[in-house]
Amino acid sequence: TSCQEDDVSTYDQHLNGIYSDFESRFEDILILVIPPWIISPYGDIEETNVIIQEELTELSTNEELMVQFKNRYQQFGLQKDIPVTYPVLWNIARKFLISFPSSYLVERGFSAVTNPLTKKRNILDIISRGDLRLILTKLTPNVDNLLLKHQVHPSH
């Protein structure tokens, strides 16, 4: 089937709107300048400062980590010994790792927002959804402590 010019124009406007929305929502991530050695720690290191070069050189001689990087590069920077063995690299790289939430956290957040709105819930069940911030964290409220601190306000 052929597309009408009006349809193409509508799709173009819609896609431009989505693009603008993404630009505004993810502006902080789009302006990040990620050093090349974070993406490829075994690549060219000549354009980095001397302290970083030293740790990258040490890292490049560690054959065990090199094999792990090739097999599981997504989890490479999250290994327990990296922050201890390469503290300078870790202090820089962790800021970038924190910028990108895992897909699990994104899905969990999406589910926490959509579940109260689906047909699974009814008006009477709205109280059980709780505060979104509590749903998305591992924090559990200490209800007993909160009740002890509650002050009764008598009517006048």
- Residues, the chain: 156
Residues 6+ apart with CB under 8 A from 59: 41, 42, 65, 86, 89
For residue 19, what pLDDT is reported? 92
The Cα 44–Cα 46 span in angstroms is: 6
Helix, strand, coil share (%) of the chain residues, nearest 5: 70, 0, 30
The Cα 96–Cα 41 span in angstroms is: 14
User: By C-alpha distance, which of 49, 30, 62, 61 is closest to 89?
Assistant: 49
101, HSE (Cβ side, Cα atoms, 13 Å): 10
For residue 13, what pLDDT is reported? 93
Asked if residues 151 and 138 have their Cβ atoms less than 8 Å apart, the reply is no
pLDDT per residue over 94-140, tens digit each?
A: 877 766 666 666 777 777 667 666 655 555 455 555 566 666 667 67
The Cα 135–Cα 109 span in angstroms is: 8
pLDDT per residue over 20-61, tens digit each?
A: 988 888 787 788 888 888 878 878 777 778 888 898 888 888
Q: What pTM value is reported for the model?
A: 0.49
